[in-house]
Chains A and B, each alone.
Chain A
Amino acid sequence: SQQGEEDPQALSIQEGENATMNCSYKTSINNLQWYRQNSGRGLVHLILIRSNEREKHSGRLRVTLDTSKKSSSLLITASRAADTASYFCATGFKAAGNKLTFGGGTRVLVKP
């Protein structure tokens, strides 16, 4: 079963615009990670946020985490055509070996 639900399922934007996607989850976590996947290839780790953190930045990426609402968001600023990919959130709980539970993903298309 998948714990996370990404919203929206698909997103189409123009180059230069910002892209925001949301993730909701159901059970307790101690970390949440965002991954990118291009055309059915392997997953690329983007950013990890711990349950005691509220916001984290990495380059053009900004992730927020609201544990009271069991939700997270990923913002990509000034998007580029190369950002076209599927984005997945995954929740983990270290005591359980940190196995990751993924959502269904958001498919982002950045048009040049």
Chain B
Amino acid sequence: DAGVTQSPTHLIKTRGQQVTLRCSPKSGHDTVSWYQQALGQGPQFIFQYYEEEERQRGNFPDRFSGHQFPNYSSELNVNALLLGDSALYLCASSWAGASGLEQYFGPGTRLTVT
């Protein structure tokens, strides 16, 4: 049973560019959440997708957008990259059922903006 997978592993972009990160949830999971983790800090919630719609959003600007596909996989898009967007981006999947409280994280995508 594959866990949560993310691609790419590492990415280097230039300020002002756009980036797309991808996530495949754990088998049986239907909800995908994205988090940003700056160096030395805890993860911060960006948004959550369920049934192909954004269900919850954290305190992030509109430059951050996402999508969920019918197979539950998800993409995170960041436009007009800033130096401060350099971080580890983590995807987590879970099940929306009543007992689905645990979130399982992927290995992350390390984004460096120069």
Contacts and interface: CB of A to CB of B under 8 A. Distances in A.
Given A1-B59, A41-B108, A97-B48, A105 B42 contact: yes
Nearest to B99: A94
Interface in B91-109: 92, 94, 100-108
A70 interface: no
Interface stretch (A14-22, A42-50, A59-67, A74-82): A42-50
Interface stretch (B13-21, B50-58, B61-69, B70-78): B50-58
A98 B94 contact: yes
B98 to A, nearest CB: 8
Given A42-B108, A102-B44, A97 B103 contact: no
A45 B103 contact: yes
A112 interface: no
A13 to B, nearest CB: 21
Contacts of A94: 101
Interface string A1-45: 110100000000000000000000000000101010000111111
Contacts of B58: 99
Contacts of A31: 101
Interface of B: 4, 31, 33, 35, 39, 41-45, 48, 50, 55-56, 58-59, 88, 90, 92, 94, 100-108, 110
In the A-B complex, the 6 residue pairs with the smallest Cβ-Cβ separation, listed nearest first, are A102-B42, A43-B105, A42-B107, A97-B56, A42-B105, A99-B45
21 contacts: A33-B103, A40-B39, A41-B108, A42-B90, A42-B107, A42-B108, A43-B43, A43-B92, A88-B42, A94-B101, A97-B31, A97-B50, A97-B56, A99-B45, A99-B48, A100-B35, A100-B43, A100-B92, A102-B42, A104-B42, A105-B41
